[in-house]
Amino acid sequence: MLNNKLGMFIHWGIYSLLEKHEQTLMWDEVPHAEYEALMHKFNPKKYSPKKWVRLAKEAGMKYICFTTKHHDGFCMWDTKQSDYNVMNTPYGKDVLKELAEECEKQGMLLSLYYSNPDWHHEFGYNPKSSHQEAAKNQDKEPNNEAYREYIKEQIKELCTNYGKIYTWFWDIPPKVEDRSINELIRELQPGIFINDRGYDEGDFSTPERQSHYEQARFDKMTEACDSVGNQAWGYRKDEDYHTIRYLTQTIDRVMAMGGSYLLNVGPMPTGEIPAKAVDRIKKVGDWYNRMEGCLENHEEEPHKFGITDISDVVINKKDGKTYMHFFHGLTSSSIQIYNWPANPERIRLMNSGKDLPFKFELLERNYPADNEKGKDRLYIHVQEIPADEYVSEPIVIEITWED
């Protein structure tokens, strides 16, 4: 089972040298020869996988997903299937190997991203898929079978030479079914989880840059993803960054619903993660660590609570305690809970770790709708919630029940 975890997504490649976007080859119609010559300038002398992993770990993240090959086809590992790889840059070292070794040292799980579109490979053009505008040989008969053989050989390298792989992240559905490809990954990496953007349905879904969900809990394994930047996934010099409020509320909502969450950064050509991205990771991590693990490995709360005037809440349970996630914050310093399963022993604000005062009250309300009109109803009145102190993050309340 893919237990819900917070992870770091890392989009890094030679596109970082252009400081615009990971798809700038397509978006800006850069000539292939000019773009591919960037590999001869790629020399990230300040690349420190130790710092990357430490940053992720300090933020409470449990895994890192690294872009081994993006749409441009450039390979960030020592592949024998193409000369278009990091070993033939001035840096001349296997950045994936360095990251994998550091992940193992620090107890960080490693996941691999692999793009189906390939704008460099002679057989990479796939008219059935999207993101094909920059692909080579569009005027020739497609040969997806030959390209899939190339993919399989690269899978063998990635799933053999870099230790235990936690998840495999395909990108851009090829709209071609070939179940042997995921079967090969599973054969080489028993226990791996594979997303739903590949050559069959995979194991888990991957909503991207999405903040609104209709359901209260995911009905299948889910890993949502977004970037600290609003414009790009790779490094962008003039990036517009998401607010801490947006990032924490989307992470809280997805993980409270039982999903995992990948938060992306795009390292600079030097190998350093931009300071503004680091700042956001640290601030998200500060909030996340104060949640004390309540967003991980929880269960659906079967009891149907009522909370007056508030609909933006996800409720789950862990270790016998109930957690109420108000992902859009609160409109006042209190909440009123009706229809509870037992008397509370303790109510705590996870944001601060402090206990909240509460009492039982009879409130004369004509709602909720299932209440007999005009009839008094007993409520748990939770008070003195310092919501104004936490306007940039979701409010999470823990309830411990009497036996």
Beta-bridge mates of residue 326:
395
92 and 186 inside one domain? yes
10 Å Cβ neighbour count for 119?
24
Looking at 44-121, list the stretches that DSSP marks H as alpha helix, in order from N- to C-terminal side.
49-58, 95-106
Residue 340 is assigned to a structural domain of this protein = yes
Among 256, 290, 324, identify where a domain stops: 290
**Tens-digit pLDDT profile for residues 48-67:** 999 999 999 999 999 999 99
201 and 307 inside one domain? no
This prediction has a pTM of 0.96
Report whether pLDDT(2) > 80.
no
Among 266, 290, 314, identify where a domain stops: 290
10 Å Cβ neighbour count for 381?
16
| Residues 375-394, mean pLDDT to the nearest whole number | 90
One-letter amino acid for residue 376 of the chain: D
- 109: closest CA among 257, 8, 224, 256? 8
Q: Are strands 193-194 and 167-171 parallel, antiparallel or unpaired?
A: parallel
Q: How far apart are the first and last CA of the chain?
A: 31
Asked if the peptide bond before residue 267 counts as cis, ω within 30 degrees of 0, the response is no
If you search the block for the tokens 């229809």, which residue do you land on? 339
- Tell me what pLDDT residue 311 has: 83
Please tell me the total count of domains within the chain. 2
Which H or E run includes 226? Answer: strand 223-227
Q: Are strands 358-363 and 377-382 parallel, antiparallel or unpaired?
A: antiparallel
How far lies 402's CA from each of 340, 342, 344, in Å? 12, 7, 6
- 251: closest CA among 203, 299, 274, 283? 283
- Tell me what pLDDT residue 362 has: 85
Place 376 in a pLDDT band, splitting at 50, 70 and 90: low
- Tell me what pLDDT residue 308 has: 85
**Tens-digit pLDDT profile for residues 309-318:** 888 999 999 9
**Tens-digit pLDDT profile for residues 126-170:** 999 999 999 999 999 999 999 999 999 999 999 999 999 999 999
Report whether pLDDT(368) > 60.
no
Residue 1 is assigned to a structural domain of this protein = no
Report whether pLDDT(214) > 90.
no
Tell me the percentage of the chain whose pLDDT exceeds 90.
92
54 and 175 inside one domain? yes
**Tens-digit pLDDT profile for residues 310-365:** 889 999 999 999 999 999 999 999 999 999 999 999 999 999 999 999 999 986 65
Contact between 22 and 15 under an 8 Å Cβ cutoff? The reply is yes
CATH of the domain at 71: 3.20.20.80
